[in-house]
Amino acid sequence: MGKPTAFLELPRLSEPQESKTERVRHFREFVLPLVEPDAQHQGARCMDCGIPYCMTGCPLHNLIPDWNDLVYQADWKNALDRLHATNNFPEFTARLCPAPCEEACTLSIHSVPVGIKSIERAIIDRGWQEGWIKPEPATIKTGKRIAIVGSGPAGLACAQQLARAGHHVTVYEKNREIGGLLRYGIPDFKLEKHHIDKRIEQLKAEGVVFQTGVRVGSPTNHEGISDQSEKSLSIDHILGSYHAVVLAGGAEKPRDLAIPGRDLSGIHFAMDYLSKQNRVTAQQLVTPTNQLKIDDPDYHTLDSAAKSRPIHARNKHVVVIGGGDTGSDCIGTALRQRALTVTQLELLPMPPSIPAGNPTWPAWPLKLRTSSSQEEGARRDWSIRTKSFHGKNGLVKEIAAVRIDWTKDQNGNMSMQEIPDSELRIPADLVLLAMGFSGPVSNGLLAELGVKLDHRGNVNATENGKGAFQTSRENVFVTGDMRRGQSLIVWAIREGRRCAKALDTHLMHREYLTD
């Protein structure tokens, strides 16, 4: 610990951002990294609290006090090594994680926490700039062949760990590009895709083989985020060609809203909307108008094959149903597409600005949080229940909703009741359903494998002990959201690392990898 009194003397510094009026004119990242003196300033605020709750708040158990102090001492290279000791892809988490580590920071009890996420980004960005991040191929090969189905953060972390343990790893991805939700679900203004590309090149140099445009198993009616796959591989082919298979396909089944008018045009799942815009940004929907800037009057004419037609919000009243991160991403995207208005509806009540009872870790503070996208111009409303959609000529034009009152019974269970005479009508030319995901797609691959599911519809597998991450099918493992359900990117990376360790132990009867 470099400066014991720094947390008393130095304020928290946030990363600078482009102004709201400027950043909504493009899809590039708008959060700027801390300059070196400011990052050292933040590292100095780490208070040597004795019990680093930040490490338990982080699902990856990042060695946060270590690299905070190393940054303060300007020892960036060792800080990078400590960061990579538990996290394969800090450039992803430093941009996308909601930072539970900061809520767990001891300073957050009576003050503001250390800017852990900002320091993490400063370290990893410095590592790439200095050329310190190199491939780490295994020196000894085991001869074991492993297939990983799915290339999101869990699949990629698992692949890297297994390759570094000496196994031959092949990753199968049904889409055209590697990355899963990182590539197709997260807007570029939060994560530019060159960050993914650099890691893919590193993994290739470490021996990982990527097969894109390949569907394992038969096509399903619930495609999730998917291009037209070029070919399919049978389950029997995969099982017969590899010593083990890892399922890392994520939780892609979106929650629907089965109310009158749901069949009107203009009502879409959030991930359909986001993934198509990401393809436009990546110039994968190739038409002559793809070169237009988003503020060009003809931008809305972007088109491709009817099946892949972009969903555009220009000059529309947009309503986002769902108050989480995916809904926030829809807001930022719609505003960049020049929507007339953007309204976000949440079923739950509005949280307090200051959490009740001053909760401390591990209690997650229930408080009002405002994302950068919500700051850009969305209207938010809480305790709203959508009752029906109404339209004209088959197109959605309006939402009928009602306000609700939440009450708690003597057992602490919450229930809702509609408030009399509280009906409201909301203009809606485009409705985006962002209510989360109910689990993995259960037909297709999972049905053909015949693996057991748990009571929530996720693939059944334990996290600890003998048989960890193993499904009911011999030599078939599962990791990420497909096992634990929709979650954070830090949980996905942790899942991938722990699954790799369990699989390596299963194949080699050794304790080699760390998690």
* pLDDT tens readout for residues 473-505: 999 999 999 999 999 999 999 999 999 999 999
pLDDT of residue 95: 97
Q: Looking at the predicted structure, is the pLDDT value of residue 104 above 50? A: yes
pLDDT at 222 over 60: no
CA-to-CA distance for 187 and 180, rounded, in angstroms?
12
Residue 36, classed as helix, strand or coil, is helix
User: What's residue 220's pLDDT?
Assistant: 55
Element (H, E) at 160: helix 153-164
Contact yes or no for 389/367 (Cβ under 8 A): no
**319 vs 313: CA distance, rounded Å:** 10
* pTM, entire model: 0.93
* Dist. CA 10–CA 2, nearest whole Å: 13
d(CA 514, CA 504): 11
**What is the C-alpha to C-alpha distance for residues 37 and 10, in angstroms, rounded to an integer?**
12
Tokens 């017969």 found at: 240
d(Cα 144, Cα 149) in Å, to the nearest integer? Answer: 17
Q: Which residues contact 298 (CB under 8 A, 6 or more apart)?
A: 289, 292
As a 3-state breakdown, the chain gives helix, strand, coil percent values, each rounded to 5, of: 35, 20, 50
Strand partners, 401: 386, 424
Would you state the torsion angle of the CA atoms of residues 444, 450, 452, 456, taken in this order, to the nearest 10 degrees? 20
In DSSP terms, 430 is beta-bridged to 318
Per-chain mean pLDDT for the chain: 91
